[in-house]
Amino acid sequence: MEFTLEALETPALTKAHLADLLFEQIGLNKRESKDMVEAFFNLIADSLIEGTDVKISGFGNFQIRVKAPRPGRNPRTGEAIPIGERRVATFHASAKLKEQIHGNIDPDDAKEVEWSLGGE
């Protein structure tokens, strides 16, 4: 199944635009399209919050990384301020996506995207 992105009015692909694409190109009704997009992103967010990696074959990996505490500095006063440990979400694009971005693979030749949560 081929999906097409016409010229975007905004410089970014939004959840609302994704829902519109599902409506136009797959035939879901608008409510189902919006619900599907919301459910997809909620599933990814919930998995990351629980500490589970999300791996989408052909696209990339989302992971939570723990950043160690470190010393910081107030830029105005120069005062030393400790920065505590924190968790951050990271995304690493797959080799296939990187090749598509660089123009080395025809998107029509790319295989379907598969995804999994953590150890699945």
**Is the pLDDT confidence value at 116 over 60?**
no
The predicted pLDDT at position 103 comes to 85
Please name which of 58, 23, 16, 21 lies closest in space to residue 38, comparing C-alpha atoms: 16
Q: In which residue ranges of the chain is CATH 4.10.520.10 found?
A: 12-50, 52-120
Q: 13-47, pLDDT tens digit by residue?
A: 899 999 999 999 988 899 999 999 999 999 999 99
Question: Domain 12-50 - what CATH class?
Answer: few secondary structures
CATH class of 52-120: few secondary structures
pTM for the model stands at: 0.68
25: Cβ–Cβ under 8 A, 6 or more apart, which residues? 1, 3, 4
Separate counts of helices (H) and strands (E) for the chain: 3, 6
Q: For 55-72, what is each residue's pLDDT tens digit?
A: 999 999 999 999 999 999
Instruction: Identify the pLDDT of residue 120.
Output: 46
